[in-house]
């Protein structure tokens, strides 16, 4: 059964549609938005994702962790215990930097990645997304250049846009960011009279490509960052989720003074806790805490205490291993189905961990243009342009295998392959493909995280 792909109405779409004849009471406020709010725009595909969340659609779009794999009864007992026994603390305001005990425990969570730090340098935030926002807030003025992988995490682009940064993409190969291309990008920015401020990178099981920088690649990237005085912002939500059980060594492990490391419990425990952190070079820690206090006063004591208790009383690393198995099985289902069903000319990455594979369509096909047809055929993905600030990525898309069970993944890929083949045949009937136009990108919806 096909679903109709009508855009669902949103207030914003409504406001945008209404011309001068339909001015509403909201319009004067819209005109008064700060310049930085211009970067906050709704994704063109947002309406489609409302349709894609229907149960009959196989969504390979959202990066939602499979939290049903958690020991939910045990977590319920812990939460009850924390409120009953330590409620006066758990339900009170807490430290702006985060609970001291949890900060100590975070040191242990970072150990497999080779990080040795002091808990004074850890700042707990409402998810690592907030830590990312705060680092950009304290370093970037409008127009400052941030270097990022091509493609990169869609909501990092949202942060950079909201602080009016200029994003410069550095090409990747199958080992991640290419050092020669990074040098070229720095030189080009310098030649234009500016200085790049930050190098934002996701070196392990990258979102959206699933690729990982090997040790030599990491050393080369760090060396270049040091040579050019670039502060590295290392985003590492997936580092513990490698399918061969090994944990890539963090950049931070080899340069504690030059790297802000972002970590999170979202993928290794549960995203709903909204507990992440930044481990910062000592000199910037105070500024980060001040920025965190202006944003949220303090992170939630309740979730920090429940999480802390879980880390102490449960074999949490065994749970991480269980997650690895769940995601490895799903990754295998995705790769097998892609190999079995996708038409010639389609390529995809082979992730060694994490949640995502990056698929490139046969020549001339456009992933955004194809999405309505895919959703009508009951499968969803995220089109590639959302992962670039400059309109690249039209022929690519991100597939997430983290949430649907293996048989749904196989069915989703089978449907998607049918759509790709149909689009390719249509293009062949129309003649040679025209070059794909660059498109402006917009902020993601929650389905795209
Ligand atoms: N960085 C990356 C690369 C991500 O994929 C995500 C979540 N999808 C985040 C940061 C934010 O995670 P959280 O705020 O849940 O810690």
Q: Answer yes or no: are the C-beta atoms of 270 and 65 closer than 8 Å.
A: yes
Q: What tens digit of pLDDT does each residue of 17-65 get? A: 444 555 666 677 888 999 988 888 776 667 677 777 889 999 999 889 9
CB half-sphere exposure, 318, CA atoms < 13 A: 6
| Closest C-alpha to ligand 1, atom 11 | 129
141: left (phi over 0), alpha (psi -120 to 50) or beta: beta
Domains (ranges, CATH) in the chain? Answer: 44-69+318-429 (3.90.1150.10), 72-316 (3.40.640.10)
Closest by CA position to 228, among listed 182, 168, 259: 182
Ligand 1: distance of its center to the CA of 284 in Å? 22
pLDDT at residue 449 greater than cutoff 90: no
- 412, 93 contact by CB (below 8 A): no
Residue 10 has what pLDDT? 36
Mean pLDDT within 269-276: 97
Q: How far is the CA of 381 from the centre of ligand 1 (A)?
A: 18
Mean pLDDT across the chain:
91
- Grouping H, G, I as helix, E, B as strand and the rest as coil, residue 54 is coil
Atom of ligand 1 nearest to the CA of 266: 15
Ligand 1: centre distance to CA 128 (Å): 6
Neighbours of 429 (CB within 10 A): 7
Whether 439 has a pLDDT exceeding 80, the answer reads no
User: How many Å lie between the centroid of ligand 1 and the Cα of residue 414?
Assistant: 29
Task: Give yes or no for residue 406 having a pLDDT over 60.
Answer: yes
Question: Which residues, judged by CB distance below 6 Å to any ligand atom, belong to the binding site of ligand 1?
Answer: 63, 127-129, 153, 202, 207, 235, 237, 264, 266, 271, 276, 449
Q: Which atom of ligand 1 is nearest to the CA of 202?
A: 3
pLDDT at 6: 37
Distance (angstroms) between ligand 1 centre and the Cα of 210 equals 14
Helix, strand, coil fractions of the chain, as percent rounded to 5 = 50, 15, 35
What distance separates the 2 farthest-apart alpha carbons in the chain?
A: 71
The whole-number pLDDT of residue 136 equals 98
Is pLDDT above 60 for 256?
yes
Which of 134, 135, 264, 270 for a ligand 1 pocket mutation test, highest count of atoms within 8 Å of Cβ? 264
Calpha distance 329→325 (Å, rounded): 6
% of the chain beyond a pLDDT of 90: 82
Over pLDDT 70: what percentage of the chain? 89
Specify the pLDDT at position 423: 94
pLDDT higher than 80, residue 150: yes
- Please determine, for residue 68, whether its predicted confidence score (pLDDT) is greater than 80: yes
Rounded to the nearest 10 degrees, what angle do helices 72-90 and 301-313 cross at? 130
* Phi/psi-derived region of residue 205, left when phi > 0, alpha when psi is between -120 and 50, beta in every other case: left
Question: How far is the centre of ligand 1, averaged over its atoms, from the C-alpha of 77 (Å)?
Answer: 27
Cis omega (within 30 of 0) for bond into 52: no
How far is the centre of ligand 1, averaged over its atoms, from the C-alpha of 238 (Å)? 9
Secondary structure class of 201 (helix, strand, coil): strand
pLDDT at 12 over 80: no
Q: Which of 127, 160, 303 should be mutated for ligand 1, with most atoms under 8 A from CB?
A: 127
Ligand 1 mutation pick, 109, 129, 403, max ligand atoms within 8 A of CB: 129
Which atom of ligand 1 is closest in space to residue 276's alpha carbon? 16
What's the 208 CA to ligand 1 centre distance in angstroms?
Answer: 11
Mutate to test the pocket of ligand 1, among 152, 212, 237 (most ligand atoms within 8 A of CB): 237
Kindly tell me if the per-residue pLDDT of 316 is higher than 90: yes
* Separation of CA 263 and ligand 1 centre (Å): 9
Q: Provide the whole-model pTM.
A: 0.91
Nearest atom, ligand 1, residue 275 CA: 16
Phi/psi region, residue 195 (left: phi>0; alpha: psi -120 to 50; beta: rest), is: beta
Cβ partners under 8 Å of residue 191, min gap 6? none
* Residue 448, pLDDT score: 52
Where residue 351 falls among pLDDT bands split at 50, 70, 90? very high
Ligand 1 atom nearest residue 264's Cα: 16
Separation of first and last alpha carbons in the chain: 28
Q: Which of 64, 106, 125, 128 to mutate to test the pocket of ligand 1 (most atoms within 8 A of CB)?
A: 128
Residue range 378-398, pLDDT digits in tens = 999 999 999 999 999 999 999
Position in ligand 1 atom list of the atom nearest CA 271: 15
Give the mean pLDDT of 126-150.
97
Nearest CA, atom 8, ligand 1: 449
Atom of ligand 1 nearest to the CA of 206: 3
Q: What atom of ligand 1 comes closest to residue 355's alpha carbon?
A: 5
């Amino acid at each position: 059964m096909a679903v109709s792909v009508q855009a669902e109405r949103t207030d914003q779409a409504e406001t945008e549609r209404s011309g001068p004849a339909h001015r509403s009471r909201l319009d004067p406020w819209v005109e008064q938005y700060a310049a930085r709010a211009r970067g906050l725009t709704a994704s063109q595909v947002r309406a489609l994702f409302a349709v894609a969340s229907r149960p009959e659609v196989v969504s390979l779009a959202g990066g939602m962790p499979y939290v049903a794999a958690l020991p939910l009864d045990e977590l319920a007992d812990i939460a009850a215990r924390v409120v009953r026994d330590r409620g006066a603390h758990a339900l009170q305001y807490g430290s702006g930097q985060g609970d001291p005990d949890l900060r100590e425990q975070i040191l242990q969570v970072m150990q497999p990645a080779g990080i040795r730090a002091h808990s004074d340098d850890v700042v707990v935030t409402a998810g690592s997304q907030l830590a990312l926002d705060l680092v950009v807030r304290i370093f970037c003025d409008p127009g400052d250049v941030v270097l990022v992988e091509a493609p990169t995490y869609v909501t990092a682009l949202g942060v950079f846009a909201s602080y009016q940064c200029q994003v410069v993409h550095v090409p990747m190969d199958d080992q991640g960011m290419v050092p020669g291309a990074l040098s070229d990008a720095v030189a080009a920015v310098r030649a234009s009279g500016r200085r790049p401020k930050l190098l934002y990178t996701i070196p392990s099981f990258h979102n959206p490509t699933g690729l990982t920088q090997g040790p030599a690649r990491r050393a080369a990237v760090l060396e270049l960052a040091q040579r050019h005085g670039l502060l590295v912002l290392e985003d590492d939500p997936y580092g513990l989720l490698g399918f061969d059980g090994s944990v890539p060594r963090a950049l931070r492990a080899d340069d504690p003074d030059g790297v802000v490391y972002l970590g999170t419990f979202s993928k290794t425990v549960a995203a709903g806790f909204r507990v992440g952190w930044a481990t910062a070079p000592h000199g910037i820690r105070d500024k980060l805490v001040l920025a965190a206090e202006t944003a949220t006063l303090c992170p939630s004591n309740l979730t920090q205490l429940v999480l802390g208790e879980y880390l102490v009383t449960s074999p949490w690393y065994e749970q991480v291993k269980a997650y690895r198995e769940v995601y490895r099985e799903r990754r295998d289902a995705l790769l097998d189905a892609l190999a079995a069903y996708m038409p010639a000319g389609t390529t995809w990455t082979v992730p060694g961990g994490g949640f995502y594979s990056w698929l490139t369509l046969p020549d001339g096909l456009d992933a955004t243009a194809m999405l309505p047809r895919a959703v009508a055929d009951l499968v969803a993905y995220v089109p590639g342009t959302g992962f670039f600030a400059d309109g690249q990525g039209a022929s690519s898309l991100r597939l997430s295998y983290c949430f649907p069970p293996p048989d749904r993944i196989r069915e989703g890929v089978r449907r998607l392959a049918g759509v790709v083949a149909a689009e390719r045949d249509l293009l062949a009937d129309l003649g040679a493909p025209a070059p794909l136009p660059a498109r402006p990108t917009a902020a993601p919806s929650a389905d795209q995280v």
